[in-house]
Amino acid sequence: MMIRLDKYLADMGAGTRSEIRKSIRAGRAAVNGAVTKRPEIKIDTEKDTVELNGQNVSYEAYEYFMLNKPSGTVSAVTDRQETTVVNLIRDRKRDDLFPVGRLDKDTEGLLLITNDGALAHRLLSPAKHVDKIYFARIRGAVTEEDKKLFARGLDIGDEKPTMPADLTICVSGEISEITLTIREGRFHQVKRMFQAVGKEVIYLKRLGMGPLILDEHLKPGEYRRLTDKEVTELCSLERKQ
Ligand code: URA
């Protein structure tokens, strides 16, 4: 990709465009080892090397992070009052990251944070039916009857019933523990599905989305970059569907 030097540096979080232009004009940037004072020169992001203040600045068109979202953060880019999931990603290069889909403020677990809009669009497209796997604690005994109802599809007050969902009962009792795989992403879907069978979700955590599985080493609030393998799997899912 060919882009202007000042945009290259701004994309990589080196400052605002005007700060960067000042630095370039002051002779603090070099391209392929030679100082340039021209913010507008075109850089080949695949081939050229860029330095600012003597530090190499490599270009990344896309960044992909797996976050274990903690309860109490909002699935947004910015918010006046609340900490957002993007605020938690501190060592990013790009300033155009966003969360792929939403988890409720009190939900924990897997959230993909990226600036790859095409990937996000495909993962979230209702037509793609990407699996989302959740773990939940439920007030009340979850039963085999619930399992059948979830598999059949439930009326949760929307125009259409939910698509068949796989409910696995891990513990059934006063507080039950379950895993649930759904293939849609409706607003408060898991909570509303349990409401429809007279039960309440008291803890919710997302474990998986398509081929991505939450890394068990990530504590709530921690994140890591996706591995190349995970990125390839996500992109091949895009093509398969
Ligand atoms: N379903 C819900 O009810 N809440 C979430 O955060 C995700 C799925």
Which tens digit of pLDDT belongs to each residue from 70-80? Answer: 999 999 999 99
Q: Is 14 exposed, middle or buried (0-12, 13-18, 19+ CB in 10 A)?
A: buried
- Dihedral (CA of 78, 204, 92, 1) sign: negative
The model's pLDDT over 131-166, given as tens digits with 9 standing for 90+, comes to: 999 999 999 999 999 999 999 999 999 999 999 999
pTM for the structure as a whole: 0.89
Q: CB-hemisphere CA count at 13 Å for 183?
A: 12
Query: How much is the pLDDT for 238?
Result: 54
* pLDDT score recorded for residue 235: 85
Task: From 134, 150, 163, 178, give the residue whose CB has the most ligand 1 atoms within 8 Å, as the site to mutate.
Answer: 134
* Atom 4 in ligand 1: residue holding the nearest Cα: 188
Using DSSP bridges, classify how beta strands 108-114 and 64-69 pair: parallel, antiparallel or unpaired: antiparallel
Residue 239 pLDDT level (bands cut at 50, 70, 90): low
Ligand 1 center–CA 205 separation, angstroms: 8
Per-residue confidence (pLDDT) for residue 236, from 0 to 100: 81
Query: What is the residue whose two structure tokens read 């093509």?
Result: 239
Q: Is residue 240 scored above 60 in pLDDT?
A: no
User: How many Å apart are CA 155 and CA 159, to the nearest integer?
Assistant: 9
Contacts of 236 (CB under 8 A, 6+ apart): none
What pLDDT does 237 receive?
72
Q: Choose among 139, 78, 67: nearest CA to 107.
A: 67
What value does the mean pLDDT take over residues 51-60?
A: 95
